[in-house]
C-alpha cells in the first residue's frame, strides 16, 4: 500500500527533513509534507501523493534533518571490509525504518509468518521471511528467495495495505494473511479461523511494547 517507496526523498546526496503521519493504529508513514482538505488529507512524497481519511491520522511528527557526511578522498578511503549478512531481525528493522512502519510490527509479522526462518516455505507456496506468494513477489519486483528483497517487499506490501484501509491495522493484517479480496468481500476481518487467530496474535504481540 504505500506506493512503492515514494516516501524516501533524496537529492544531490543530501537528506532533507520531512515528516511522519502518525496513524490511529500507531503506524507511522513518512511524507515530504501534507495538506488537509476537510475530511481528507494528502501525504506528498516527491511528485506523488496518497490520499487518506483525515480521521485516520492522529498527528504529525517532524523528521530530523540529517546533514550529509563529508566524502572521503581517495587517500583516506579505507580498504573494504566484508561484513556479515544482516540477521532477519535487522532486515525487519531496516525495512520498517525505510517504509515508516513500527519496527515491532514488522518483527511481529515476520515471527508469525516464518519464525525468522529465511528458507521457510508454506504448504500453499508462500516463501521466505515474510512468506510472500510468488505472484505477490513478482508484482512487487522482488526475488522472494533473497532474504533482503523478501523483507523489503513484505514491509512495502504491508504499508500499502495500511494505506488502503486508512490505517486499520486489523484489516491490513487480515489482507496480508487472506488477501485484500477477502477483506473487501466482508468489509472487515473475514470469518476465517486462521485469519482471525493470525490478526489477534500479531496485534497482541505488537502491542506488548517496543519500538
Query: Would you please indicate which residues are annotated as catalytic (active-site) residues?
Result: 113
113, 102, 158, 128 alpha-carbon torsion, rounded to 10°: -30
DSSP string, 14-32: EE---EEEEETTS-EEEES
For 118-143, give one letter per residue: b (16+ CB within 10 A) or e. Answer: beeeeeeebbbbbbbeeebbeebebe
Report the length, in residues, of the chain: 211
Amino acid at each position: 500500500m504505500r506506493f512503492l517507496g515514494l516516501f524516501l526523498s533524496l537529492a544531490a546526496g543530501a537528506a532533507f527533513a520531512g515528516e511522519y503521519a502518525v496513524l490511529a493504529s500507531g503506524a507511522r508513514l513518512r511524507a515530504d509534507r501534507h495538506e488537509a482538505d476537510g475530511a481528507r488529507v494528502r501525504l506528498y512524497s516527491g511528485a506523488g501523493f496518497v490520499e487518506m481519511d483525515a480521521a485516520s491520522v492522529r498527528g504529525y511528527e517532524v523528521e530530523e534533518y540529517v546533514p550529509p557526511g563529508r566524502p572521503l578522498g581517495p587517500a583516506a578511503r579505507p580498504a573494504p571490509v566484508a561484513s556479515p549478512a544482516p540477521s532477519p531481525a535487522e532486515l525487519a528493522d531496516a525495512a520498517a525504518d525505510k517504509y515508516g512502519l513500527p519496527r515491532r510490527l514488522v518483527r511481529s509479522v515476520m515471527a508469525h509468518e516464518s519464525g525468522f526462518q529465511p528458507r521457510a516455505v508454506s504448504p500453499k507456496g508462500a516463501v521466505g521471511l515474510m512468506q510472500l506468494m510468488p505472484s505477490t513477489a513478482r508484482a512487487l519486483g522482488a526475488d522472494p528467495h533473497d532474504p533482503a528483497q523478501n523483507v523489503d517487499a513484505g514491509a512495502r506490501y504491508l504499508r500499502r495495505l495500511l494505506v488502503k484501509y486508512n490505517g486499520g491495522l486489523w484489516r491490513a493484517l487480515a489482507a496480508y494473511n487472506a488477501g485484500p479480496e477477502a477483506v473487501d468481500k466482508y468489509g472487515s476481518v473475514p470469518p476465517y479461523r486462521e485469519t482471525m487467530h493470525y490478526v489477534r496474535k500479531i496485534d497482541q504481540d505488537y502491542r506488548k511494547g517496543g519500538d
